[in-house]
Structures are given as structure tokens and as C-alpha cells.
Amino acid sequence: MFMSHRIKSHVVRSLVAMAALLIVITGSQALAQSKPARVSISAANPGAPWGIIGASFSQIMNQQGVKSNVELGGALSNVVTVSDGRTQLGFTAAAVIPLARQGQKPFPRKIDNVRSIAAVMTNATHILVTNESGVNSIKDLKGRRFVSQPVGNVSQYAFQLILESQGLKESDLQLMRGGQRFGADTVKNRKATGFTATAVFPAGNFANAFRSVPSSFLDIDEETFKYVNGKNPGLFRLSIPANTYEGQTKPIRTVATRALLIVRDDMPEEHAYWLTKTLVENLPTLRKSHKAVRRLDLNIMANPPALALHAGAKRYYTEAGALK
């Protein structure tokens, strides 16, 4: 049997309509799959730079239909929570990555299933001591009351390596542990010789202590740097410029590490692409959230040290012209 011209036309129109509908449905499904449904961010304390920047990015994602929240964490613990899939995005430091890969303490095992989507900021090791203490070198800290960060924090790890370079252990000091505010308050109350943290600069708590009690920062000499860098190439040479802190008239030679945003290596490529794209497209908002990322740009983000980019992030940066 042969169909009439009118029936043929009707059938053709119906098929075209069905095809168009199928394209719309398929396109909608692809769009829905191109971004994650939920992103939990392992950051730090709410008042710390990572916590503030993480909260800003979380708000941006919520506004774009991706449910997001920020959780407490630290540079080392965040690697574990992202690796285990308990959070989808986390802040860490480049200096932590070699430890994770080797399974060194405090990591319970070797971790090599995380990748970066961006480098975000530089954190420099500060070692503040009061002038009245008479401490002029790392060796002079032996037997002194001093505030370091909690175990498992990159600040604690960097300081431990610096002590080791001088033949000292943490147990050779009368150590107290706590965050930067605790360190600053303890120094201001004359209950400690000084305190340390690997932090963005200028760091508010160091500025506060520096203004309140006549103080100075210990210099990391070349021999100490070579020891630290040899143990962990994620810790690189940096000088904090003169006048970063009120009354600090000379540059401070120290070590530093770059903060990274990490995801699991098996995150769908489209999800990592979306996270990276969203991060970059909202840089003006993120820069306003904290001074630590005020100068963050595409070239910095696209070149994280010590850790490879996720395939989705690499594709975005390549399309954006930051990578070849």
C-alpha cells in the first residue's frame, strides 16, 4: 500500500517533532549531568582564609543550583576526606602532597587518588619571637615556651622540619598548641616566647602581636632552607617583603607553600570542568572575599605545584589559553 501525500507529510512532521523533542530532552539531561548535584568543601576554621574563601565559593555554587556546604578541616586531613569521598572539594598545601603519596605520618596509607583544579594562594612560614626573649635563631628556641600549631597541620609540619635542620625536636621546646589567635594572645600575655604559623601575609594575628609586643621574625638561612626543601620540594624559598608588618624594616627570608584546591581523580570530567569554569568566572567575587586571593589570576590557578591537574580542569585551562 502507498501512503497519500497528506499522510506522508503528517508522518514526516511528527518524526521531525519527535526528533526535536528528543534533542531537547537529551540536551537537558547532558546539561544536568555537566555539573555536580552537591559539593561539600573541606576547608579550615570559619575565620581562616580557607574557610572564608571556601564559604564564598560555596555561596556561588548554591546560587547556580549546586547544593554546597563548607566543613572544618586542615591541610592534611582534607586530603584524606577528599580521597575517601567524604567531601568533593578540599583545600590543601603543595607541601602535603609528597607526604600523602609516600604515606608518611600522619597519613594512614599512601594516597595518590587526588588531583588539583587550581592553585589559589601562597602561605609563608612565620616564626615570631619577642625581642625581650633574647631569641635570635632557631637554636635559641631550645627549652623555651613556644606556640606551634596542632599536629596534622601544615604549619606544624613545616616548623618541625625547620627544627630538625638545627638538630632539634619538638620535645626540646616547651610547646603549646593552638591556632594563630591563641598564639598571638599567648605572646601578648607574656606566656610564650613566640608562635609560628604558615599563613598568608600580612596575617592579622601576627600583625596584632607585632603591634602589641616588640617582636621580630626569625630568618630562615640558606642552609636551613636547603634541608627543608630537600625533605619536601613543596616548600619553596620566599621572602616576605619589608614593611609587610608595622616596624618590620627588612625582608624576612622564609619558606612557603602554595595552597591547592583538590578533587578525587575519578570525579567525572564534566564536573571538574564545571567547578574550574565556575571558579574562574567568579574570580571578581572570590577576590573580594579575602585579601589572600586579591591577586589570584588564571596563570597561577592553572599551574599548581606538586600535583597534576584533573583532566576536566586541564581541559578548561587549555580552552581558556592558560595552557598549551
Taking CA atoms, 312 is separated from 28, 308, 317, 319, in Å, by 20, 11, 9, 11
Helix, strand, coil % in the chain, rounded to nearest 5: 45, 20, 35
Parse the chain into domains and list their residue ranges: 37-121+259-319, 123-257
Mean pLDDT computed over 54-66: 97
Q: What is the pLDDT of residue 22?
A: 43
Mean pLDDT of 269-289: 97
Q: What secondary structure letter does DSSP report for 309?
A: B
* pLDDT score for 4: 52
> In percent, how much of the chain has pLDDT > 90?
74
Please report which confidence band the pLDDT of residue 74 belongs to, taking 50, 70 and 90 as the band edges: confident
The class that CATH gives domain 123-257 is alpha beta
Kindly tell me if the per-residue pLDDT of 260 is higher than 80: yes
**What local confidence, expressed as pLDDT, does residue 261 receive?**
98
What are 115-174's pLDDT values in tens digits? 999 999 999 999 999 999 999 999 999 999 999 988 877 889 999 999 999 999 999 999
Domains 37-121+259-319 and 123-257 agree in fold: yes
pLDDT of residue 2: 41
- pLDDT of 61 strictly over 60: yes
pLDDT confidence bin for 48, thresholds 50/70/90: confident
Supply the mean pLDDT for the chain: 89
Interior angle at CA 89, CA 83 and CA 93, nearest 5: 75
For the stretch 156-192, what's the b/e string if a residue is b when 16 or more beta carbons lie within 10 angstroms of its beta carbon? bbbbbbbbebbebeeeebebeeebbbbbbbbbbeeeb
pLDDT at 254 over 80: yes
Query: What band does 202 get if pLDDT is binned at 50, 70 and 90?
Result: confident
pLDDT at 179: 87
Looking at residue 272, what is its pLDDT? 98
- What pLDDT shows up at residue 13? 54
* Four-way CATH pick for 37-121+259-319: 3.40.710.10, 3.30.70.270, 3.40.190.10, 1.10.510.10: 3.40.190.10
The 10 Å CB-count burial string (b at 16+, else e) for 239-276 is ebeeebbeebeeebbbbbbbbbbbbbeebeebbbbbbb
